[in-house]
Amino acid sequence: MVWDPFVRIFHWTLVAAFVVAYFSHGGYLAVHRWAGYAITALVVLRVLWGFVGSPHARFADFVTGPRRLASYLGLLVRGREPRSLGHNPAGGAMIVVLLVLLAALCVTGIVLDTPRFRDDRDFKQIHDLLTDATLVCIVLHLAGVALASWRHRENLVAAMITGRKRREPR
């Protein structure tokens, strides 16, 4: 067991809330707002869980320095990256980037929900740019999951559903 129930429920609930927020931004402001507040709560809980959660959920397990990340990316480009039981250094970096982007999206969304800034084009543009950056990172995340699943012959999507990964390398 690698991914605890909180991490798995957080992950898939966040996916659902982001999809709802993204597709409700046009004419369904109340739904968009509730999805945004759900994302806010999820991000706050995940940050807390990153300090007190199970071993593989903790930031200390997967957040690395730039030197280790660069080394891992070099090995990845050459097709020689080691398999990780938890998140690999690139996945850990992506989690941090996504949490920061989502937090910034939530802050700008909350600001836009106030009467003073509701019609502020600059904040709206920042919110939209953060959405675009988040979408780019989601695509990169999915590509990374697909690549790691293929390279290490394991289904990482199934692992995020069941919580289980094999311990031994193949």
Amino acid at site 7: V
63: which 2 tokens? 């957040």
Where do the structural domains in the chain lie, given as residue ranges? 5-162
Q: What percent of the chain has pLDDT over 90?
A: 86
* pLDDT tens per residue, range 107-142: 999 999 999 998 899 999 999 999 999 999 999 999
The CATH architecture assigned to 5-162 reads: Up-down Bundle (1.20)
Cα–Cα dist 166/43, whole Å: 28
Cα–Cα dist 100/134, whole Å: 10
Cα–Cα dist 6/11, whole Å: 8
What's the pLDDT score for residue 167? 75
In this model, does residue 149 exceed pLDDT 70?
yes
Cα–Cα dist 81/28, whole Å: 44
With beta carbons less than 8 A apart as the criterion, state whether 123 and 107 touch. no
Q: What is the mean pLDDT of the chain?
A: 94
Q: Hey, is 100 helix, strand or coil? A: helix
